[in-house]
Amino acid sequence: GNTTFDMVLVRYGESMATVYRSMTFGDDLLPGSPSQEAVSVLVAIERATLFVLVSTWLIWRMLCVYATEASDRVGKEMVVAYLKHHRVSTSIQLKVFQTLNEASAIRRQQQHF
């Protein structure tokens, strides 16, 4: 049960520490050496830092995308309200709305490059 899981976890930590040391420092220290704990902590800190950075970047990108979409939507709603207020024909409203959609798609495409 729990002891098997603990053993697997310990072996995983030992193997990661050994691989990390051999890749970073170029030496073949045996698992259980005094510096293994330090390397294990370093690997854990690196993983936590990477997780925080990737999560922050993803949240930032989502906020940017949703803010752009919200801005586009409000702008389109204002244009449609303006056209309706001035009694512009439905066919002209559709053409304007189609043009706005195309311009928004091109702007989003340009932001990705």
pLDDT confidence of residue 28: 56
Q: How far is CA 37 from CA 19, 40, 76, in A?
A: 14, 5, 58
The answer on pLDDT for 14 being more than 60 is yes
Rounded to a whole number of angstroms, the CA Rg of the chain reads 28
Instruction: Give the CA-trace dihedral at 47, 51, 57, 60, to 10 degrees.
Output: -160
pLDDT digits (tens, 9 = 90+) for 55-89: 999 999 899 888 888 888 888 889 888 988 999 89
pLDDT digits (tens, 9 = 90+) for 101-113: 898 888 878 876 6
pLDDT confidence of residue 56: 94
Instruction: Give the CA-trace dihedral at 51, 24, 4, 47, to 10 degrees.
Output: -10
| pTM (two decimals) | 0.50
